[in-house]
Amino acid sequence: MSTSQQYDNSRLQILGPAECISMLGSVPLGRLVYTNAGLPAIRLVNFVLDEDTIVFSTGQGDKFHAAERGDVVAFEADDVELERHMGWTVTAIGHLSVATAEESTELRHRLPLHSWLPMDESQLVRLGIESIHGRRLVPWGRRPRSG
């Protein structure tokens, strides 16, 4: 185990930006955290990663309106093995935007996008990652002792 690994106060391993991006790209579902009518809202979305941009499809509802406004949002994805007490979580923050018709056509051909709506009824939304943070839950025996 490398001595350069860093841990937070809970003794979770801190992940660097490149590893966070890699982790995000390894799962198909995440949670979009945004504001709806002045209150926090969290919605599960299926997504794909396009370099440093999260792309997902949505209908004409509240997520789409947040993208039209260019809202600052958070996006969280994770993978946890409950029996082994191992896993990771990554949180990305950035501005939402609606993909143009030309961008949508190109993205739909290039990326393995999936939608819970028929694709012809959905709009593509992009989240440009401006900040990203992650933590890994490692086995107790590999965690540093608190001092």
Alpha-carbon span 146 to 119, nearest angstrom: 50
Which tokens sit at 19? 């590893």
pTM of the model: 0.87
pLDDT of the residue at 2: 47
pLDDT of the residue at 91: 98
What does the domain layout of the chain look like in residue ranges? Answer: 13-138
CA atoms within 13 A on the CB side of 39: 4
Closest CA to 89 of 42, 19, 33: 19
Was domain 13-138 assigned CATH 2.60.120.10? Answer: no
Q: What pLDDT, in 10s, does the model give residues 52-61?
A: 999 999 999 9
